[in-house]
């Protein structure tokens, strides 16, 4: 997903997506540690999506304060 798609989500949907990504990143790290996965590209995509979510949440937080 791109940042614009994340901006169109509600706060609840964004929080759910954030939790899902946290869990998926954790699971992928465990798979790397146990050498069951070598899909490094997937980890990069997940981290970028996670960063986009945090950026959108921060944008909303700053907008509320204005």
Q: Which domains does the chain have, with CATH numbers?
A: 3-65 (1.10.287.310)
pLDDT score recorded for residue 66 = 59
57-63 own/partner pairs: CB under 8 Å, 24+ apart: 57/14, 57/18, 59/7, 60/11
Q: Tens digits of per-residue pLDDT, 1-60?
A: 888 999 999 999 999 999 999 999 999 999 999 999 888 999 999 999 999 999 999 999
């Amino acid at each position: 997903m791109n940042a614009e798609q994340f901006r169109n989500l509600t706060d609840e949907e964004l929080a759910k997506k954030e939790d899902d990504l946290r869990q998926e990143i954790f699971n992928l790290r465990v798979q790397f540690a146990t050498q069951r996965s070598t899909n490094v590209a997937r980890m990069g995509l997940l981290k970028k999506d996670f960063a986009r979510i945090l950026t959108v949440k921060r944008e909303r937080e700053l907008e509320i304060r204005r």
